[in-house]
């Protein structure tokens, strides 16, 4: 399991959206911007699925994920590789559902990604 450095956690907190790449079991790629992308703890990042059917379908077939967070002016940021888990119940799901309900958005799933590798300032 990888660990997120303080610099990477700061980058994720400051820059929106995170760009999430997934692939189906057959290798068909999908890339999606996630404004809800955030740090959960030193070894996990999360995002809410508001309207991401292909991302969720891919993760259910193939949990591998690659994430890019980059500042548009400096082109500095971070990359994360890991495995995603799709959640549709539990404390984390309930917490994010409540948060997004306050903005009149429905959370369909929460994706919890276990970090395998992280690289900053590429």
Helices (H), the chain: 6-14, 53-61, 91-101
* 105 falls within a domain: yes
Domain membership flag for residue 98: yes
What's the DSSP call for residue 88?
A: S
Residue 31 token pair = 């890339």
Q: Is the peptide bond before 47 cis (omega within 30 degrees of 0)?
A: no
1 within a domain of the structure (yes/no):
no
Domain that holds residue 66: 6-120
pLDDT in tens, 6-15: 999 999 999 9
- Domain assignment present for 94: yes
The verdict on residue 11 lying in a domain is yes
Report how many domains make up the chain: 1
Give the CATH number of the domain where residue 22 resides: 2.30.110.10
Q: What is the pLDDT of residues 29-82, one digit of tens each?
A: 999 999 999 999 999 999 999 999 999 999 999 999 999 999 888 888 999 999
């Amino acid at each position: 399991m990888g660990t997120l450095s303080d610099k990477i956690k700061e980058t994720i907190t400051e820059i929106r959206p995170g760009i999430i790449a997934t692939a189906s079991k057959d290798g068909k790629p999908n890339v999606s911007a996630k404004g809800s992308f955030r740090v959960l703890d030193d070894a996990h990042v999360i995002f809410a699925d508001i309207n991401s059917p292909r991302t969720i379908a891919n993760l259910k077939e193939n949990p591998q994920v690659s994430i890019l967070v980059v500042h548009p002016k400096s082109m500095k940021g971070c990359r994360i590789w890991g495995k995603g888990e799709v959640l549709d119940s539990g404390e984390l799901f309930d917490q994010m559902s409540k948060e997004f309900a306050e903005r009149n958005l429905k959370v369909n799933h929460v994706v919890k990604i276990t970090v395998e590798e992280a690289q900053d300032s590429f």
